[in-house]
Structure 1
Amino acid sequence: MTNPYQSPQENSKAVVVWYKRWMVITAIACLVLAGVCLLATVVSMHYAFHVISNAAGSPKPEDLASAIAHSLTYSYFAVPFALSGLVLLVLGIRSKG
C-alpha cells in the first residue's frame, strides 16, 4: 500500500540528483583540462623567452613571434573547455534536485 502523504516527486529525485552530479563532475573535468592547457601556455611562454634570452647576439623577431604563436595554441584549447565547464557547473548547481 502506498503512502497517500508522500509526494510523487520523491521517487524522481534520484534521477535529478544523478543528472546534476553528472553535470558537476563533467564541469570539474572541463575546468581541470582548461587549467592544464593554461599551465601548458605558461610553460611554453617560459620556454620561448628562455630560448630568446640564450640566443647569441640580438634575437630575431621572427623567432620570438613563432615561439609565442606556438605557445598560444594551448590557450585556444583552454577557452572552449573553460566556457563549457562553467556552463555545465552553473546548470548542474542550479538544477532542482
Structure 2
Amino acid sequence: MANLMTATGFVRQHILKELKNGNMEVLKGLPPVLAMECGIAMQNELGDVKEASPINDKEVGKSMLSRMADTGIKEQLVKQKEQEEKEFMEKVALAKQITESVTNS
C-alpha cells in the first residue's frame, strides 16, 4: 500500500508541476474527482483561494474507497480463498485415504 501511495504522490506532484507550467492537457483523461483534487491542491499550495472549497478531501477519499468496495473484489477474493481451502482439504483427505490403505494392507 505504501508503494501505491508513493506512486500516487509522485503522479500528483507531476500533474501539479505541469499545471503550474500552464499545461492544462495533463488533466485530459483523468477521472473528474482526481482533476478537481489536483485543482484544489494547486489553489491551496499557491494560497490564492478566494473562497473555501465546499469539497472535503477526506469525504472524497471515503467515497472513493466506498466505491471500490462496491465493485465486489473483496467477495471475489473471499470466494477464491474458500475454493482454494476446499481443494486443499480434499487433497488432504485423499492423502489420508491413500496413507491408510497403504499402511493397512
Using structure 2 for the length normalisation, give the TM-score: 0.38
Which structure is higher in RCO with an 8 Å CA cutoff and minimum separation 6?
1
Larger Rg: 2
